[in-house]
Amino acid sequence: MMTSIEESPLYSIANPKSLAFFGASNNLTAMGTNLLLSVQALGFEGPIYPVHPKSDTVLGLKAFQSIDDVPIIPDLAVIVLPTAIVNNTLEACGKRGLRNAIVVSGGFKEGGEEGRLRELELTDIIQRYGICLLGPNCLGVTNPHQRLNTTFIPYEGPPGFIGLASQSGSLITQLFEHLFMMGWGFSTAFSVGNEAVVDVVDCMEYLAVCPHTRVIGLYIEGIRRGARFIETARRIVPHKPIVALYVGGSEAGRRAGFSHTGAMAGSDRLYEGLFRQSGIIRARSVTELFDFCGVLGSQPLPRGARVLIQTHSGGPGAAAADACGRAGLEVPLLSPEALEALAPFVPNTGSVQNPVDLTFTKNPLDFYSKIPQVLAGDRNTDTLLVYFMTPSQVVARGMRWMGVPEDQIAKEGAKMMDDQCRSFMEAVQPSGKPLVGFTFRGHHEPSIQGLTRRGVPVFPGPERAARSVAAMVQYAEFRKKWTAPQACKDA
Amino acid sequence: MMTSIEESPLYSIANPKSLAFFGASNNLTAMGTNLLLSVQALGFEGPIYPVHPKSDTVLGLKAFQSIDDVPIIPDLAVIVLPTAIVNNTLEACGKRGLRNAIVVSGGFKEGGEEGRLRELELTDIIQRYGICLLGPNCLGVTNPHQRLNTTFIPYEGPPGFIGLASQSGSLITQLFEHLFMMGWGFSTAFSVGNEAVVDVVDCMEYLAVCPHTRVIGLYIEGIRRGARFIETARRIVPHKPIVALYVGGSEAGRRAGFSHTGAMAGSDRLYEGLFRQSGIIRARSVTELFDFCGVLGSQPLPRGARVLIQTHSGGPGAAAADACGRAGLEVPLLSPEALEALAPFVPNTGSVQNPVDLTFTKNPLDFYSKIPQVLAGDRNTDTLLVYFMTPSQVVARGMRWMGVPEDQIAKEGAKMMDDQCRSFMEAVQPSGKPLVGFTFRGHHEPSIQGLTRRGVPVFPGPERAARSVAAMVQYAEFRKKWTAPQACKDA
C-alpha cells in the first residue's frame, strides 16, 4: 500500500506542474475552449501550452503548432480533440516524452464496434510509451487544492475534503455549487470515463493517501476489477470511510450506463454484497452520495445510534423523530441529569421529551448556547440533530423594532446570526459528538450560512439529515468491527 | 356534500371581512405582536380591532380595552393570550356576538390534566355560543388569496394552489419559502392544533370546494374521526387529489406527536390501510408531502407509468433512470417514429436510448425546442423528465465572448434563459403530458426560475422528481378506478 500521493501513478495527473492543452481555441463553441477557461478561472499556477494548428495565441496564451514545438516536456497533456485525431496526438505526445494524459474526447468503447477498435489502438499507444491515462470519454480532474480544474464548469467555493472517483464527469462538474451550498467541496475528483488505464480502484488508492481527502465517494456504473476493488476498499475503510452510489441495478440504469461509458453492470444484489463485504457505505442517490460524504468528512463519529432532537417547533420535531425512526436510529429519552439541567430554559408550552421542543422561548439566545450545551452533554445522546429556522426577514423585523437604522439592518442582522452560530458551535464542540442540522429555509439565509461555513451540515428537511446520521452510525460500526483487536493471545 | 366554500362553517375563519385581535401589543417579544405583523405584512384589507387592556394603539392601529368597546361585531377573533385568560376572553367574544375564533394559545389538552380540564371548559363555552373555533394550540390560517396570514412568518410569494390541513402550524408558516422556491404556494392552509372543534376532516371538506385549491395536503399526527375521514376522502379523491403525511408510525414520532398536540397515534400499518382505502397518496416526509402536492397541482395527469428522460449529461441521465426504476416507473425505448424525428438533432457522441443523452450539442437551442417537442410527442411516453443545468456563470462566459458589454451581461443572460424556458414550455405543452425537471444547481439560477415561474417543478436531484411522478401515476390509477363507469346495464 502506498504511503503518499507522490508514489501514485496518478500523482502528475492530479498535481501537474505544467500542461499541454489540445483542442482549445478562440472559439467558445469548442468543448476544449470551455475546459481551458475552467483551468484559467481557478488560477492554475504552472505554465500552460495550448497546441493549435493555426492560431498563434489561444485564450491569451502563446500557442504551438505541434507538441514538438513546446519548449519543455509538460507534466500532463489534456486532449479534447475530434475523435479521429486523438490517437495520433497521443502518439505524438508519447514520442515527445509526455507520460501523463487526460483524453476527454468520446467516441471510443462506448460508441460501437468502430469505437471499440479505436480504444484498442489507444491502449496499444499508451502501453508502448508508458503513458498514464485518464479517460477517454471523461472530464479529467478537479483538484482545487492545486488550483486545477479541467472540467466544464468553473470550480465554485473553497477546496474541500471529499475525494471522488466517478464514472460520470458531469457528477463532478455539475455538483460544484451543490456541494458549496452545503459547505462542502472536493479535495480531488477524478472523472475516469471509459477507464482504458486508470480505473476507480486506482483513484481509491490515490485518495486513500491524499492528505486533503477525509472521505472517498464513488459513482459507479460498473466495476471491472471486482476482487481488487474489494481488497483495496477493505484496506482503506478502517482508516477512511468510502461511500458508493451504484446506478446499474435497475434495467433502465444499466442501459443508461452502457451507452454512457460502456460499463457492464451487474445485478443490484451483486453490488449490495460487494459493498457490504468491502465495508463501503451504500448511497441510493446522487444526493445521498454527497450527503453521506459530507457528514462523514465533517463530523466526529457517533458512538452509537442515539439521536437527540432539538427544535422550537412541534411539527418539524415530530417529522424529525419519524425520519430518525425510519432511518433505524434511536430517539431515547433524556437522562435525569440532562432533564434537571434543562429545566430552567424550557417554557411551560415546551417539551423535554425527545424531541426537545423549546417552542416560543422568552430568551432565544438560550437556544444557541445553554440548551445545546446541556443536550450535547447528555449521556443518553450520541448525535445532536437540530432544527434551524431564522428567516432574515423576521430578524430584520426585530432589528427595525429595536430602532436599528434601516441601512444597518442587513449588516447587524447578519452579525447577530453569525454570533449565534458561533455560540452554538462552541456549546456543542466540547462534547466531541456529531452535530447535524435541518431546515426548510434556503441556504442563502445568513443563519444557515453561518453554520455551513463552520462545517455543520444543514439539510433541507429532516430525512436527509437522519439518513446521513445513519450512514455515520453504519461506518462507526464497520470501523469498530474491523479495527477491533484480535482475541487476546494470553487469555 | 357542500358545493361552495360559502356553505362551510370555516368560511369566515378563512375569509373574514374583519378581525378582532387579542394578545398583540407594541412589544415584539409577544407572540401575538408577531402574528399581527404577519397579518399587516400581507396587506389584509378589512378592519382590524386590536383589544388591549392598556394601550391606545397597537402597531399603529386604534386599540380597544375590551371586545365590548369594538364598534362592530368582527367576523373573526384571533386570540394569542396567556393560557389562563383565554377562556374568559372567548366567553366575552361569545357574549358580544362573535361566532368565529382562532385560539393560538397553548396549554390545553396537550398540557396534562390541568390543560385537559381547561379544554373541556373551552368546548363548553364555544358550544354555548355556537362559536366555530380553530385550535387551540395552533397558528391559525393562511389564505393569501384573501391577503390573510395569521401565522408567525410573513407570507412569501404569490398565492398558490395547495390546500393544507395541518396538525402542525410550523409546517405551514415555516414552509412558505420552501414552496416559493419550487414555484408553489398555498391556496388556503389551516393549522388545526388540538382540534377542539374544527378538525382535519372539516378542512378537507372546505378545501374540496375551494376554487383556488387544486390539491389537498394533510399533515397528520393522529386522526380522531376515522370513519368520517375515509368517507370524506373517498368523495373528494375522484375530483381532487389528496396527499397525506403521517408521522406517528414510529415510536419516537408517536411520542413527539402526543406532546405536541395531544394526538393519539396508531400503528403505521393502520394508517397505511386507512390512506389506501381512502384513495389518498401517502407521502413519507415533509418534503414528499409538498413535492407530491406540487406536481399534482401543476401538471396534467400522466396516462401511464412510462417516463422519457432528456439529458445532456450521462451521469445525471443514468441516475435519473435508476431513480425511475426504484420509484416503480418504466423507462421504455423510444418509438421508431420518435427516433426518426430525433435523428437530425443528436450528435454522434449522444444516445437516443432512453435516457436521451444529447451530450455537448452544436446547437444548444435544439435542447429547448425541437428535441423536447419530439420527445413529448412520442407515443411510448407518458411523462417527460428533463435534466436542467445552465449555470449563469457559463452563460455570462458566452455573453462576454460574443462581445456583450459587461454591464448588460446579467440582463441579456437572464433574457436568453427566459426565452429558452418559454420555448421549452411551448414545445411540450401541446402534448398534454406532464413535464418535470431536475437539477443540481440552486433555485436562484435564472434558468431554473424561468421554469418554476411557468409552473414546471424542477427538483434538486432526480429522486424527488421520480417519486413525484410515481405519485401522479398512483393518483391517475386511483382516479381511473374510482370514476370508471359501472358495467353497462344494456350489455
- What is the b/e burial string over A54-93, where b = at least 16 CB atoms within 10 angstroms of the residue's CB? ebeebbebebbeebeebeeebbbbbbbbebeebbebbbbb
Contact list, A442 vs chain B (CB under 8 Å): 177, 181, 443
| B461/A286 touch (CB, cutoff 8 Å), yes or no | yes
Cell numbers linked to B436 = 418535470
Q: What is the DSSP letter of B400?
A: H
pLDDT score, position A349:
73
pLDDT score, position B360:
66
Question: Counting runs of H as helices and runs of E as strands, what totals does chain A give?
Answer: 19, 19
Q: How many Cα atoms within 13 Å fall on the side-chain side of residue A489?
A: 0
Q: How many Cα atoms within 13 Å fall on the side-chain side of residue A134?
A: 35
pLDDT score, position A9:
96
Instruction: Choose among B31, B349, B440: nearest Cβ to A178.
Output: B440
Contact list, A179 vs chain B (CB under 8 Å): none
A121 touches A87 (CB < 8 A): yes
Give dist(CA B343, CA B350) in Å, integer: 10
B311 touches B356 (CB < 8 A): yes
Helix ranges (DSSP H) in A15-57:
31-41
Q: What is the DSSP letter of B79?
A: E
Q: What confidence tens digit (pLDDT) does each residue in B418-455 have? A: 999 999 999 999 999 999 999 999 888 999 999 999 99
**pLDDT score of B488 more than 60:** no
B107 touches B140 (CB < 8 A): no
| A249/B316 touch (CB, cutoff 8 Å), yes or no | no
**pLDDT score of B361 more than 50:** yes
**pLDDT score of B266 more than 90:** no
Task: Name the burial class of residue B483, with classes exposed (0-12), middle (13-18) and buried (19+) by CB atoms within 10 angstroms of its CB.
Answer: exposed
What secondary structure does DSSP assign to B378-389, as a single string?
-TT-SEEEEE--
> Please, which residues have CB within 8 angstroms of residue A190's CB and are 6 or more apart in sequence?
A10, A13, A14, A134, A141, A164, A165, A166, A198, A203, A206
pLDDT score, position A347:
81
- Distance from the A367 Cα atom to the nearest Cα atom in chain B, whole angstroms: 15
Question: Counting runs of H as helices and runs of E as strands, what totals does chain B give?
Answer: 19, 19
A16 touches A47 (CB < 8 A): no
Give dist(CA A172, CA B143) in Å, integer: 43
Q: Which amino acid is at A83?
A: T
Mean pLDDT in chain B?
93
| Nearest in space to B131 (alpha carbons), one of B95, B106, B185 | B95
* Cis before B344 (ω within 30): no
Instruction: Choose among B166, B322, B401: nearest Cβ to A28.
Output: B401
Q: Which amino acid is at B287?
A: T
Query: Could you give phi then psi for residue B459, rounded to 5 degrees?
Result: -90, 150
Identify the residue whose cell numbers are 490517437.
Answer: A87
A-B CB pairs within 8 A amount to 247
Q: How far is CA B384 from the centre of its chain?
A: 22
Identify the residue whose cell numbers are 393560538.
Answer: B104
- Distance from the A1 Cα atom to the nearest Cα atom in chain B, whole angstroms: 31
Q: How many Cα atoms within 13 Å fall on the side-chain side of residue B285?
A: 21
B215 touches B293 (CB < 8 A): yes
**pLDDT score of B45 more than 50:** yes
Residues composing chain A: 491
Give dist(CA B432, CA B379) in Å, integer: 12
Cell numbers linked to B379 = 407515443
Residues of chain A with pLDDT under 50: 487-491
B135 touches B104 (CB < 8 A): yes
| A181/B37 touch (CB, cutoff 8 Å), yes or no | no
**pLDDT score of B118 more than 90:** yes
pLDDT score, position B255:
66
pLDDT score, position B264:
54
**Other Cβ atoms closer than 10 A to B157:** 16
Identify the residue whose cell numbers are 400499518.
Answer: B269
Give dist(CA B165, CA A100) in Å, integer: 62
Instruction: Choose among A106, A285, A398: nearest Cβ to B319.
Output: A285
Q: What is the DSSP letter of B488?
A: P
Distances (CA, A) of B198 to A324, B210, B216, B225, B254: 31, 17, 17, 12, 22
Give dist(CA B292, CA B465) in Å, integer: 9
**pLDDT score of B486 more than 60:** no
Give dist(CA A433, CA A431) in Å, integer: 5
Query: Could you give phi then psi for residue A448, rounded to 5 degrees?
Result: -90, -40
| B315/A219 touch (CB, cutoff 8 Å), yes or no | yes
**Other Cβ atoms closer than 10 A to B267:** 11
* Confidence tier at B468 by pLDDT (50, 70, 90): very high
Angle between helices A286-298 and A462-483 (to 10 degrees): 60
Average pLDDT over residues B70-92: 97
pLDDT score, position A110:
85
Give dist(CA B186, CA B172) in Å, integer: 9
| Nearest in space to B76 (alpha carbons), one of B15, B28, B145 | B15
| Nearest in space to A180 (alpha carbons), one of A201, A156, A151 | A156
SS3 state of residue A244: strand
CA dihedral A411, A413, A419, A420 (to 10 degrees): -160
**pLDDT score of B164 more than 70:** yes
Instruction: Choose among B107, B245, B251: nearest Cβ to A348.
Output: B107
- Distance from the A487 Cα atom to the nearest Cα atom in chain B, whole angstroms: 38
- Distance from the B209 Cα atom to the nearest Cα atom in chain A, whole angstroms: 27
Q: A38 to chain B: nearest residue by CA?
A: B394
| Nearest in space to A323 (alpha carbons), one of B252, B468, B243, B270 | B252
Give dist(CA A357, CA A350) in Å, integer: 5
- Distance from the A488 Cα atom to the nearest Cα atom in chain B, whole angstroms: 40
Give the Cα-Cα-Cα angle A442, A445, A448 (nearest 5 degrees).
Answer: 90
| Nearest in space to B103 (alpha carbons), one of B52, B137, B141 | B137
**Do the strands B100-103 and B356-357 form a parallel or antiparallel pair, or are they unpaired?**
unpaired
Contact list, B440 vs chain A (CB under 8 Å): 174-175, 177-178, 286
Give dist(CA B86, CA B158) in Å, integer: 34
Contact list, A460 vs chain B (CB under 8 Å): 178, 287, 460
SS3 state of residue A282: strand
Provide ipTM, 2 decimals: 0.92
Q: What is the DSSP letter of A144?
A: G
Q: Where are the beta strands (DSSP E) in B207-321?
A: 215-220, 242-246, 281-283, 307-311
**Other Cβ atoms closer than 10 A to B78:** 29
> Please, which residues have CB within 8 angstroms of residue B119's CB and are 6 or more apart in sequence?
B108, B109, B136, B194, B196
Rg of chain A taking only CA atoms, in angstroms: 26
**pLDDT score of B490 more than 60:** no
Give the Cα-Cα-Cα angle A424, A430, A434 (nearest 5 degrees).
Answer: 70
